Every structure is written in C-alpha cells, then in structure tokens.
Chain A
Amino acid sequence: MKLPQSALLERASFDTLLDALRRRGFKVVGPVIQDEAIVYDTVTASADLPVGWTDEQDGGHYRLKRRKDEALFGYAVGPHSWKKYLHPANLKLWDATRDAGAALRFEEGDTEKPPKLAFLGVRSCELRAIAIQDKVFMGSAFTDEHYRKRRERIFTIAVNCGTAGGTCFCVSMKTGPKVTGDVAFDLALTELLEESGHYFLITAGSEAGAEILKELPTRPATPEDLATADAVVDRTAQNMGREMPAEGLPKVLLENLEHPRWDDVAERCLSCANCTMACPTCFCTTVEDTTDLTGDHAERWRRWDSCFTLDFTYMHGGSVQQSARSRYRQWMTHKLATWHEQFGSSGCVGCGRCITWCPVGIDLTEEAAAICTVENSNTATNISEPASRDPSP
C-alpha cells in the first residue's frame, strides 16, 4: 500500500470516523471540557469535543475562551497528557499472601488486558512525547511490560495544530506544529475552516489508518487543498508563544551549573512537582508497599513520583537534593541536556505544560535563555576549576 494517502472529510461526516473506530473495538479518548479546562477523557461523538472553544495560556495561567467559529480542535494542549493512559499514575505491581504454612504466594497486580484505545487529537509535540516514552520504556533490553501492553493497543489520530498556545514552543524544539512522517501515527487531520466550508484533510500514516480512511465518506484532496492545509500549519508556526534557545543548549547548561540564575529560580520555585506531573515525557515513579492488619497480605503499588520531592533522592542518612536550587537544576539539566546522552534526544517537546501549570508561572524557556546570556554565562574553563564550590574556610 502506498502511503500517505490524503482525502477530505466534511465536518458533518466527522462522526463516521468515530463509528469506524468503534466498529474495530476501539474506545475513543480525546479532548473534552471538564472543570474549565480541556482534558482527555472518553469521546462518544464529535459533540463531546470542545466545539468552538480555545484556550488562553501563559505562565501559571489557563483560561477557556470562545472562538468565533465552531472548530473542533481550535486550542492547544491542556493539563492532561496521554501518559495517563500509557503510564498510569497508580498501578498495582503485585500482591503477596502468606498462607497457613507460612509460605509466601505472589500474584501479578497488572494482569488485565488493557482496553483498545483510539487517541483522538494527538498533537505533533505529543507524538514526539510518546516516541520519547517509547524509548524510555521499550528502547532497551529491559522493557516495561505495563507500558508495552498498553502502547501496543493504541490507535493514534493526530491533529496538525491550527492554533498556537501562549506557552507553545514546538518550532524551536523542532517537534511541531506539523505531524511529520518520522513519528508513528495512524491518521493525521488538518482542520480547515474556509469560506467554502468546514472540513478535514486526513492523511493516513499506517496501513490500519489507510483502511479506516477508505471507509469514510471522503472526497479526493486537490493540490489546492494540500496547500491550504500547509498554510494553516505555517500560520501556527509563525505564532509560537515561546521560543527555546536552540544552539548548543545542553553544553551551555552543563557548563553553567553554578550560574546565579539557579538561585533566582529557586527563590520562586515551590517544589510542588506540578511541572513534572504535567510533563508528557517525565516518567519517574516510586513504589509504595502496604500491609494489612494481620500482616498476611501485602501489596506493592507504583505511582508517579517527581524529582522535586525530598523522598526522590532519599538515601541512607538523608536526601541528596536538599535545596530547590539543586532540584530545579537537576530537572532542567536532565530534561534539556543529559537526556540527549541517555536517550538520544532532548526530553522536552515544547508543549509548554510546565510553564502553564506552574502555579507561579516559572518559564522553562526564560530560565534557559537567562542561563544562555553571555554576561553571566561561565565558560568551559571555569567549570573545570570549581573554585566556587569550595566551602569557605
């Protein structure tokens, strides 16, 4: 089969896509409005989507706003990310029972077959985030089976962004706003709101996607339609809310571990962990053991953890990262610098969640830019002479 194939689907026929997915046994999850935000939850019809809504985003600020049109995908990403489906916040790993003969019996905790989910409305940055977590959980000999068995059953309907959020910076991270062929997806949509009508350009990214596309009441896309769709994404790319300094960032960060800016950010940082919980690539977990009153039954649960908690670096005698300064620096240098060494790419996809959902609006791009400023920036030579780290006599 030749890929990609493109076709046009009228807004009025959008629900045929949901029907086709359901016929194949998929439960569709995607953007819906809950508690005055666009989150991910079950979508049963296109009317469940945030029709005619958009979001206003800034550091520590998120508000829903009405659009002048009836767009289905006219907003940026919200507080949830797809990791909540692929890498659950709470997961029972096993339970253990001690029987009358004092023998221990262990049972796997995560034995259920995960549901077949269709992710509707996955943005380019989010596809990249999923690809990063694929690498984290499945990229070595030690595969996380909990992740793998969920991931294998996902059908992905991506959306090219028609609206840039106030904290978006995918362009400078080279992760969007257009869905490109080097990341996996099944279908990709571009929403077109033209005088001639409201329709979607759909491109298949996989055989499974192409099969569904064939079933939909589409008409062929003309070169003009393709150009219109490209113009939508180009316009989004021109309107990024933020920009990350791109050139040599990992090197600059790692050469400036004693930069005074770390003290400034620590003064504002709440160590509340919101940034890491909202981040679509942060993957850290802790395990918690529970016992019952008899002591004959124990469970081990895995839950999301954060490098902003003291327990995260607790070892015998105390926590390694005591200060907010060291915790913020660890998070940012891992995300933007050492992630390259560990996983072969940046850990940041430019989605802006850490900026929007920081209660005090700390801006990752602003912090990175401040550390890159020439007047404060250390040189590599200074780093090899860590005089500033020596304790005062």
Chain B
Amino acid sequence: MSSPPTKKRLAVWKFASCDGCQLSLLDCEDELLAVGEAIDIVNFPEATRYFEPGPYDLSLVEGSVTTPHDAERIQQVRRESKFLVTIGACATAGGIQALRNFRDADVAEMASVVYASPEYVSTLETSTAISDHVAVDFELRGCPINKKQLLEVILAFLHRRKPTVSHHSVCVECKLRGNVCVMTAHGTPCLGPVTHAGCGAICPAYDRGCYGCFGPMETPNTASLARQWKALGASDDEVKRAYRSFNGYAEAFRTESEKHE
C-alpha cells in the first residue's frame, strides 16, 4: 500500500538560474530517501549524471529562457512532460536577469562590457518566464522556493490532489506567527502586503521589510502600497528598485516600477 503500483518518473531541468531552487530538492534531507522511494528521479544533473530519456510524468523546471537554444529546449521538455511545474522566480517571472529587459541598450553592447570574448555568447534580448514559452501546469514561487512547498507540490502530484499553496499576502503569515507589523510599528517600508505568501514571513520576523522574493500575491494593489512607501519617506527610485528585483518582470511589479522611473 505504501507505494503506487508503478512509480512516477520525475525530471529536473535547469535554464538560466543560480541552481538554488533545485538544490531545495536536495535540501529535503530528512525526506529525500522517502521522495526517492515514492518517485523515480530519472533526470537531475545537480545530483547525479544518471539520465533516462523521456517521457516524464513530472518535470520541475528551474530558470528563465535567455538563449535561442533554451527557447527550443523548453519546447522539447514540454513535449516530453505530462506535468510541468516551474520553480522559483527565474522560471515564474524571468528572475533577476530579467533586469536586462528594462534596458534600452542592446544586449550585444552589454555583453561586450561584461565578457572578454563576447563572440562566444549567444543570448536573447530578454529573460522571460517559462510560461511565456509553453503551457505550465503549476508555478511554485520564491527566490528561492520553500522546500516544504516543493515537497507539498510533489506530494499533491503523487496523490492527484491540488497543492495546498496559498496565494494571499505575506501579511497573513506575519499575523499567524504573531509578528508585529514592521511597516506600522517601525515605519519600515515592506513589500509584504503585495507579496505572495510562502516564505513564512521570514524577514519581518527579523525586523526587516519584505523584499518580495515570492513575487506578486493574488490581487496586488502595488499602487496603493507605493503611495504608502512614499508617505514613509521612500523616493521614487527606491520604490522602483524595490519592485524591480528578483520578480521585477512579473507584470504587477513591472508596471508599478515603470510608474516610478
């Protein structure tokens, strides 16, 4: 009874990213053996060279699309995957590397400044979310993702149910753990009211404002929060920079950041 008759096959894919999110899977130390029991991990280059060709029952995709090669590769991953789940800010919003999307300068010019031999670099003008290229079955947010939420998504997939992942604000998590609101009580600008829950309100618990690592919540009122930041003394530039970080190219954060240019 403990394991399904035929084990599902899991593949982990990397696009433009820092690898931190897929490391969350390895970080499930106590549960990792049980994960291996419940599901066959047949492609996970971060952990092993062992590789089996598709098709796959579940693909976890980390990273954004930044090269012509990756733009083709994600199509292949989609074709071989029954369920495709994107993990992390790069895969769900383009990541910090999507800051390039805001630049007028062309990407070749930027590459020439950064690289000694830019002629070896083949890159796109933009960094975009996986969902801009293929259909995605579920997006797990975070920079990095929360490993408990990752386990929950895998569990929900295995047991054919909806993942218990809330889309409300970080404020709810603050209140559930009894945090004092840093914005109201300390005057610290905080992105919590417009940010997707999932981290467990770590920063406010340590007297810091939320940095928005999990991207926009379900119904983000970014304009109202920006007005309050300015009332607390933040400049337009600070508001712009706050919205324009790991999830800066997520629509709600992007459009608000553009109002403060």
Interface residues of A (CB under 8 A from B): 34-37, 39, 60-63, 79-80, 84, 89-90, 98, 100, 102, 267-274, 277-278, 288-296, 303-304, 306, 308-311, 324, 356-361
Does B37 make an interface contact (CB < 8 A)? yes
- Chain A residues with CB under 8 Å of B35's CB are 293
Q: Is the CB of B225 within 8 A of A359?
A: yes
Does B63 make an interface contact (CB < 8 A)? no
Contact with A along B218-247 (1 / 0, CB 8 A): 110100110110000000000000000000
Does B176 make an interface contact (CB < 8 A)? yes
Does B193 make an interface contact (CB < 8 A)? yes
Q: Is the CB of B185 within 8 A of A273?
A: no
Among A270, A296, A357: residue with most chain B CB under 10 A? A270
Per CB-CB distance, the 5 closest pairs between chain A and chain B, nearest first, are A277-B175, A272-B193, A35-B180, A272-B171, A270-B193
- Chain A residues with CB under 8 Å of B159's CB are 291, 295
Chain A residue with Cβ nearest B164: A288
Partner of B171, one of A84, A268, A274: A274
Q: Is the CB of B228 within 8 A of A360?
A: yes
Partner of B175, one of A89, A289, A356, A360: A89
Q: Is the CB of A293 within 8 A of B172?
A: no
Question: Whole-angstrom distance from the CB of A367 to the nearest CB of chain B?
Answer: 15
Does B72 make an interface contact (CB < 8 A)? no
Show 5 residue pairs from A and B whose CB-CB distance is below 8 angstroms, ordered by the A residue: A89-B175, A89-B178, A271-B221, A310-B167, A356-B184
Chain A residue with Cβ nearest B195: A272
Bound CA span A289–B193, Å: 25
Q: Is the CB of B171 within 8 A of A277?
A: yes
Not counting A79-B181, A357-B181, A360-B224, a sample of 13 additional A-B residue pairs whose C-beta atoms are within 8 angstroms of each other reads A39-B180, A79-B185, A98-B1, A271-B169, A274-B175, A291-B155, A293-B35, A293-B158, A294-B2, A309-B168, A310-B167, A359-B183, A360-B227
- Chain A residues with CB under 8 Å of B193's CB are 270, 272, 274, 359-360
Question: Whole-angstrom distance from the CB of A315 to the nearest CB of chain B?
Answer: 14
Question: Whole-angstrom distance from the CB of A65 to the nearest CB of chain B?
Answer: 12
Question: Whole-angstrom distance from the CB of B155 to the nearest CB of chain A?
Answer: 6
Bound CA span A271–B219, Å: 7
- Chain A residues with CB under 8 Å of B177's CB are 89
Q: Is the CB of B164 within 8 A of A289?
A: yes
Q: Is the CB of B184 within 8 A of A306?
A: no
Partner of A311, one of B2, B152, B167, B221: B167
Among B2, B35, B37, B219: residue with most chain A CB under 10 A? B219
Q: Is the CB of B184 within 8 A of A61?
A: yes
Bound CA span A278–B176, Å: 10
Q: Is the CB of B185 within 8 A of A292?
A: no
Partner of B1, one of A102, A268, A277, A310: A102
Q: Is the CB of B180 within 8 A of A278?
A: no
Contact with A along B75-109 (1 / 0, CB 8 A): 00000000000000000000000000000000000
Bound CA span A232–B161, Å: 59
Bound CA span A324–B158, Å: 35
- Chain B residues with CB under 8 Å of A62's CB are 181, 184-185
Bound CA span A292–B142, Å: 23
Among B171, B179, B193: residue with most chain A CB under 10 A? B171
Bound CA span A95–B168, Å: 26
Q: Is the CB of A270 within 8 A of B164?
A: no
Given contacts A62-B185, A90-B176, A273-B175, A294 and B3 within 8 Å (CB-CB) = yes
Q: Is the CB of A357 within 8 A of B184?
A: yes
- Chain B residues with CB under 8 Å of A102's CB are 1
Question: Whole-angstrom distance from the CB of A54 to the nearest CB of chain B?
Answer: 14
Chain B residue with Cβ nearest A268: B224
Question: Whole-angstrom distance from the CB of A173 to the nearest CB of chain B?
Answer: 22
Chain A residue with Cβ nearest B38: A293
Partner of A272, one of B37, B179, B180, B192: B192
Q: Is the CB of A360 within 8 A of B225?
A: yes
- Chain B residues with CB under 8 Å of A79's CB are 180-181, 184-185
Does B194 make an interface contact (CB < 8 A)? yes
Bound CA span A277–B174, Å: 10
Q: Is the CB of A359 within 8 A of B180?
A: no
- Chain A residues with CB under 8 Å of B38's CB are 293-294
Does B34 make an interface contact (CB < 8 A)? yes
Does B122 make an interface contact (CB < 8 A)? no
Q: Is the CB of B185 within 8 A of A303?
A: no
- Chain A residues with CB under 8 Å of B207's CB are 35
Question: Whole-angstrom distance from the CB of A322 to the nearest CB of chain B?
Answer: 8
Chain B residue with Cβ nearest A286: B166
Question: Whole-angstrom distance from the CB of A303 to the nearest CB of chain B?
Answer: 7
Question: Whole-angstrom distance from the CB of A171 to the nearest CB of chain B?
Answer: 24
CB within 8 Å of A: which of B1-28? 1-3
